[in-house]
Amino acid sequence: MEANFHYPAEYYDEDYTVGIPSRGDVSFYKKYALQMGSPVLELGCGTGRILIPIAQEGIESHGLDMSREMLGICETKVRTLNLKNVRLKCSSMDEFEYEEKFSMIYIPFRSFQHLLTTEQQMKCLELVRKHLQDDGLFVLDVFAPSITKLAGYVQSQDWEKDFSRKNEQTESTITRYYQARPDLAAQTVEVTMKWEEREANGSVVARKMGEFKLRYIFRYELEHLLVRCGFQPTIYGHFDERPYDYVSGEIIAVCKKS
C-alpha cells in the first residue's frame, strides 16, 4: 500500500475474507503467475492476501509495500508457512529498484490508484516496464468509477455501514463504516473508515479509524496511459475475463510490452 493509505493492519485480512465476499482476484492472479513462471513481483502486496497463495504454488515471489505494519503481518505468515521463496521490500511503487527482471509484475486490488498524480503513475509504469522481461506480463486492476455513486457521495456525507463480522478471537462483532468525499475536478475520492467492535451486550471494546485517498481512472484513460508508457493492454471487466461492461465495477488490464 502507498503512503496515503492508513488502515488497521490487524483488521485487513478478515475484512477482505469474512466481511467482503471473494472477488475472484486471487485465482485470477495465480493463474497468470503459474502461466508465466518465476520470478514474479507484486506491487502493493500488503499482508500477502494474493502473494502468499502464489508463493505456495512454488513461484518465486517478490512483494513490495509502503506499510511496515502490513509487511509485518505478511512476514509472519511467510515464517509460519516456512516459505523460502518469498522476498519482501518496503518501498513505494513509483520508487523501487531490483537487479533482476520479472516474468510477471502485478498490482492488484486498486493499489495503483493510490498514486494521485499522472507523474507518479507514469513513473510507476516506467519502472514496471524496466523491470519486466521482454516477453513478460504486467497485470493490474482498478475500480470502474460509478457516476451514480460519485453523485451520491457529493450529495451526502453521512456514515455508511459497510459490513459487520465476528472477531474470530473474541467473538465480539466488528462493524465497518465509511465516508467518501470526491473531488470531481481532481478525480480523487478521500475515504475515511471507522471500526466499532462491540461485545454481545452492546458495549464498545474497540474503536479504530483509517483513511486513504484514491484517484479514480476511467477505462480509456487507463488504456491510453498504458499505451503511452509502452504497453499493449487487453481490458476485461471481470476476473473470469469477460469483457469490460462498466456495471461490474472492475477494470482489469493484462499487458504485454509493445
Whether residue 99 lies inside any domain: the answer is yes
Q: Does the global pTM surpass 0.85?
A: yes
Find where cell 486498486 sits: 110
pLDDT 10s digits, 22-71: 889 999 999 999 999 999 999 999 999 999 999 999 999 999 999 999 99
Instruction: Band the pLDDT of 1: cuts 50, 70, 90.
Output: very low
Whether residue 2 lies inside any domain: the answer is no
Instruction: Band the pLDDT of 21: cuts 50, 70, 90.
Output: confident
pLDDT 10s digits, 83-114: 999 999 999 999 999 999 999 999 999 999 99
Whether residue 232 lies inside any domain: the answer is yes
Same domain membership, residue 224 and residue 113:
yes
Same domain membership, residue 195 and residue 163:
yes
Whether residue 108 lies inside any domain: the answer is yes
Same domain membership, residue 155 and residue 40:
no
pLDDT 10s digits, 215-237: 999 999 999 999 999 999 999 99
Same domain membership, residue 156 and residue 41:
no
**Type of residue numbered 149:** K
Same domain membership, residue 155 and residue 138:
no
Same domain membership, residue 138 and residue 31:
yes
Report how many helices (DSSP H) and strands (DSSP E) the chain contains, helices first: 7, 11
Per-residue model confidence (pLDDT) at position 3: 58
Whether residue 1 lies inside any domain: the answer is no
Whether residue 16 lies inside any domain: the answer is yes
Answer whether residue 4 shows pLDDT above 80.
no
Same domain membership, residue 246 and residue 165:
no
Domain that holds residue 13: 9-144+218-257
pLDDT 10s digits, 190-208: 999 999 999 989 899 999 9
Quick one: which of 201, 149, 135 has its CA closest to 173?
Answer: 201
Strand bridging mode 204-215 / 188-198: antiparallel
Residue 6 DSSP code: B
Average pLDDT, the chain: 95
Q: What is the CATH number of the domain that holds 173?
A: 2.20.25
Same domain membership, residue 158 and residue 46:
no
Whether residue 4 lies inside any domain: the answer is no
State the Cα–Cα distance between residues 102 and 89, nearest whole angstrom: 15
Q: What is the CATH number of the domain that holds 53?
A: 3.40.50.150
pLDDT 10s digits, 146-179: 999 999 999 888 999 999 999 878 889 999 999 9
Buried b (16+ CB within 10 A) or exposed e, 131-140: bbeeebbbbb
pLDDT 10s digits, 57-87: 999 999 999 999 999 999 999 999 999 999 9
Same domain membership, residue 249 and residue 186:
no
Same domain membership, residue 185 and residue 78:
no
Same domain membership, residue 35 and residue 132:
yes
State the Cα–Cα distance between residues 113 and 174, nearest whole angstrom: 27
* Domain total of the chain: 2
Same domain membership, residue 160 and residue 33:
no
Whether residue 57 lies inside any domain: the answer is yes
